[in-house]
Amino acid sequence: MRRVELGALVVAATLLYSVSGNASAHPAVAAGSGCHVPRLTGLTLSAARERAAHARCRLRVKGAARQEAEIQTVERQSPRRGGHSSSVTVWLNPICHREAAYGPELKEPLVTPGPTELVSGFFVVGGPLRRFSTPGCKRPAPRPGAGTVEVTNAGGEVVATQTSTSGRFVVIPLPAGSYTITGTFLGATSNGSHPKESESIVIPPGHSVRQDFFLNVP
């Protein structure tokens, strides 16, 4: 009888050691060894959540207040792509509201050292508000539209005319002096004709003058 009881104790002890030994030999399997960190920077928050979940990463969100996951984008992440971690922290860009059509954010006329010349572009600005998400609500430099620039000197004489295609600026070398420039928007019409805008500029010697034309739309 004692031999049976002793044998049963030995078997029970062996099973207990086997189970506890296997658990300690593979702690990563029980606790989770983390994930291979994917790239999340630049994605919307909703896309970042999906990618992090697919990689089995816990996602921590910081930065701007969470508002619209389908629009709000990730500015940066830690750790970077390719690392190993149990969690990934992302910092969000804010939600921004601006007009759909916009021009360059410059104080014009912009006078800079360089060739004595005029630089002009054509921009349609305005339209309905659009929601987007970028660092500091900054937007990429807009592409100019097509147009024709006519340059008149102080005596009322037309001294230069140049036409640009969409995506290009008008660049006209001119002697230093005062001018009136008139821009015709070839990519837009109003009451059956192309809108025109005029500006007065002064070009100093050895300087380029940037003066764009803007067409406001509701």
Q: Where in the chain is the domain with CATH 3.30.10?
A: 33-94
90-128 pLDDT, tens digit each: 999 999 999 999 999 899 999 999 999 999 999 999 999
Average pLDDT in the 6-21 region? 41
pLDDT of residue 190: 87
pLDDT higher than 80, residue 87: yes
Average pLDDT in the 175-191 region? 96
Model pTM score: 0.73
State the architecture of 99-217 in CATH terms: Sandwich (2.60)
158-171 pLDDT, tens digit each: 999 999 999 999 99
Work out the angle at residue 52's Cα, subtended by the Cα atoms of residues 49 and 53, and round it to the nearest 5 degrees: 85
> What single string gives the DSSP state of each residue in the chain?
-HHHHHHHHHHHHHHHHHHHHHHHH-HHHHH---EEPPP-TTSBHHHHHHHHHHTT-EEEEEESPP--TTT-BEEEEESPTT-EESEEEEEEPPPEEEEEE------SSEEEESSSEEEE-EEEEEEEEEEE--GGG--PPPPPB-EEEEEEETTS-EEEEEEE-TT--EEEE--SEEEEEEEEETT--BTTB--EEEEEEEE-TTEEEE--EEEEE-
pLDDT of residue 33: 56
Q: Where in the chain is the domain with CATH 2.60.40.10?
A: 99-217
pLDDT of residue 21: 41
Phi and psi for 121 in degrees, rounded to 5? Answer: -135, 165
The pLDDT confidence band at residue 23, using thresholds 50, 70 and 90, is very low
Q: Which is more confident, 135 or 30?
A: 135
Structural class in CATH, domain 33-94: alpha beta
Average pLDDT in the 125-151 region? 96
41-75 pLDDT, tens digit each: 999 999 999 999 999 999 999 999 999 999 999 99
Average pLDDT in the 148-156 region? 97
